[in-house]
A and B are shown apart, each in its own frame.
Chain A
Amino acid sequence: MTSREIKLNLNGRVCAVDAEENTPLLYVLRNECDLKGTRFGCGAAQCGSCHVLIDGVSVASCDMPLWSAASKAIVTVEGLSQSGELSALQQAFIDEQAAQCGYCISGILISATELLQKNHQPTEADVHAALDKHLCRCGSHNRIVRAVLRAASKVAA
């Protein structure tokens, strides 16, 4: 097992980290890069709390080794706002008050971002399909779906 400096392309910036190359990306993001928005839920890619965009695709970071993320474009929930301005999705989640505890929200925002990048006019069923890998225990699902559809309509407008 080797520890070496690895350069990450993280939220549009280069971030050099010194960690063992098999370390799951999630721990690197949270502890080395101080980005706490990506969250541990299960460690087995079964709940969606730790999703990030890797080259535009929403994937779990809890079982992704650091080495495999090198040289790819990584976007975390913190990277969804541009120069302090919330993305249409983030704003829609506030407008719809689409959270209870909010622990699952970061991962859901990542998958919703991927969805809206690929499908500008998603149906409710499209949103369900895109978010089905994400678990929400508080029962905020319907608000979350409304928020995604609201953001889509704003972006389309």
Chain B
Amino acid sequence: MTTTPTPVSLPGSLNANRRLSQWLAINPDGTVTVRTGKVELGQGIATALAQIVCEELGVAASRIRMVAASTAASPNEGVTAGSMSVHDSGGALRQVSAEARAIYLQAAALELNLSDSDAARLTVVDGSIQTSSGEAISSYWTLASQAMLDRDATGLARPGKVSSTAAMQRLDIPDKVTGRPRFVHDMMLPGMLFGRVLHPPSPGATLLGIDLTVVDALPGVVATVRDGSFLGVLASDEYAAVKALAKLAALASWQEPQTLPDMHELPAFLRGQQHDTMLVGEKTSEPVAGVTRQFQASYSRPFIAQASAAPSCAVARYSPDLLEVWTHSQGIFNLRADLSTIFGLQEGQVRVQHAEGAGSYGHNGADDVACDAALLARAVPGHAVRVQWTREDELSHSPLGAAMAVDVKAEVSSDGRIVDWQHEVWSNGHSMRPGRSKTPVLLAATHLAKPYDRQVAINMPLASGGGSERNSVPTYDFAAWRAISHRCLSMPIRTSSLRSLGAHCNVFASESFVDEIATGLGVDPLEFRLRHLTDPRAKDVLTAVAGMANWHSLRSTKVEGRGVGIAFARYKNTGAWCAVVALVDAGHELRVKNLWIAVDVGRAVHMDGIVNQIEGGAIQAVSWTLKEAAQFDRTRITSSTWETYPILRFSEVPAVQVEVIDRPEQKSLGSGEATNGPVSAAIANAIFNALDVRVRHMPFTMDAITKAALAEENS
């Protein structure tokens, strides 16, 4: 009887995609092809991964050819989300590159008949294999052969043989400053048609009727498509498609029931639904004698739009046995699963390839528009079809980040320590990505003549980071605590992942609350936090940010209308440590003037990329916090333009200073989402410091601050 040995555990996504050649090819022409299942979202991941390969393989950056992820050829790495790419794909590529390097050095040693000790001293300088005296004896390029990497990883080679290279410049920026085509929006295939889709005007709408012959007769129109409440048009030139879409909108008549909640009463709406309730976690202790103070407060955030700079776009080409799709989806394999169901094709008959879109911060319309394009392409087999959404669609038909309500309660002992902490959150689920539900979740799937049921967003398991409950567990060393999450079982407004998921509002709530308790006790909020922390990395980011901002001096010098606030979290409780100080000016309008941010993301792979992500996440969080809320009446989402859904502008952006505490000996952690919660809380705490008004409901418009001030006066 034979037994199969348990395969050795390998880093990141390599564990499930073990063949080296799936990731890497060393080519005789002096280039290195790198395949990853993670996708470029504007976060610079392609550059960070290229840098890892350069470091471990020992080659110059100019030799790297990053291949866009495709279901046909790339390792399946699931979704590019949750700040996991450096861990998943970077961990895999670091090991793959180290193994490839070892294989090539071994081949060189064998060819030249080197002794073991000489072989051990070989080095690699930009692909040239050299002896310890610097003599070039071979190179990757002369040895290059596909077969050498056509084997599974062993886990034996140890990464880290090559010293770190200087931070690489982003590979894509030269194209972007010269206007070269890079985005899926720029793709042109021979004979390509331009498509537009008229989505139902409200989440509950169904199409009553439309006379398509009028649209069919318009110049340039090639075809119209109706399938249930799904309507689209194809034209030979783009402006003809744009005009035909306007005509479709004018002609279509809809039944629109009132299905949406009262946007002014979101916390009550969230609490009033049926829920799937879970105990996220708890820690119990003997009751502490001498509890002197009890605190409690409620916080909330509204629905927040992805508000991507570009409307979602996709290209599709259909033949009876192959559907090809080019998409800026964050999860090409998951998208493939939903498309194969809708089109009745085997997964092998659906080929999904990534092409860049504008920045993506969660689950935007990318997957939905890919389905739209495929549905239109099916009407004209053999023709490539490019479908682009309108700005209105992008703001009102993409999934929104879920509204949330959070209650926090605490008991404080006579020596000024929090001894019991209760965190309770109500929210729709934060995950409705394709490929995970029992039926397809793509927008058009629910509009077809044979529709798929609308699914309700779920939360990923806590081990995968959770959703609503992310960061509901305190980061502090409280003697006792309990975290409870209520996921709404109805979903009148489509919600899915938005950068940091539930962590944004949970951290906003808990870090505002810590500030309320500290100020209530008359204790410096920095000192109060440090009092409840033993984790040295947590203390380090707090101490670092206090130093950067000159915290004590700012807090002790009172300036009319100016306030400073601090906040901290360890993202997902297992990821990056991040502390933020915000300085606000609350004169006739509220301005965030400065943000100081200290982060610990373990080993810093691409320093400038990390700083860019931290800055970007922080500025986006300022925008959410001060300005953003999806608007709706009882039928339609009405915030569908940049006028009705304003975001932060250049003149409103704070100065942002970032310090990264590099820990080369620690594993790398993602940086894209660490700042969102702490920034919102630091702003709220700074507003309190400036105005003695506690704002607990985002966004902090002047109206909201006035309302909070009046509520305090009346209480």
Binding site for B on A (CB under 8 A): 19-20, 23-24, 27, 30-31, 34-44, 46-47, 49, 76-78, 80-81, 86, 90, 93-94, 97-106, 109, 125, 127-129, 131-132, 134-145
Contacts and interface: CB of A to CB of B under 8 A. Distances in A.
B309 A40 contact: no
Contact of A43 (B41, B185, B358, B390): B390
Interface size of B as a range: 35 or more
Contacts of A38: 179
Interface in B232-284: 237-239, 242
Nearest first, the 7 A-B pairs at minimum CB distance are A37-B179, A101-B42, A139-B619, A102-B176, A139-B616, A101-B359, A77-B179
Given A36-B180, A134-B650, A139-B616, 12 more contacts: A20-B239, A41-B391, A42-B641, A43-B242, A43-B391, A86-B178, A101-B41, A101-B359, A102-B172, A102-B182, A139-B653, A144-B650
Contacts of A128: 650-651
B62 to A, nearest CB: 15
B177 A100 contact: no
Given A38-B179, A44-B641, A94-B174, A103 B358 contact: yes
Nearest to B187: A36
B80 to A, nearest CB: 13
Given A42-B391, A77-B178, A103 B309 contact: yes
B388 interface: yes
Given A39-B185, A40-B185, A101-B309, A46 B177 contact: no
Contacts of B471: none
B311 interface: yes
A47 B649 CA distance: 10
A44 B242 CA distance: 13
A100 B391 contact: no
A36 B181 contact: yes
A144 to B, nearest CB: 8
A141 B311 contact: no
Contacts of B357: 101, 103
Contact of B650 (A36, A101, A141): A141
Nearest to A104: B309
B490 interface: no
Contact of A40 (B169, B173, B180, B311): B311
Given A36-B186, A101-B41, A141-B653, A41 B310 contact: yes
A103 B239 contact: no
A145 B650 contact: yes
Contacts of A94: 169, 173-174, 177
A4 B188 CA distance: 24
A31 B623 CA distance: 34
Given A46-B642, A139-B617, A37 B178 contact: yes
Nearest to A87: B177
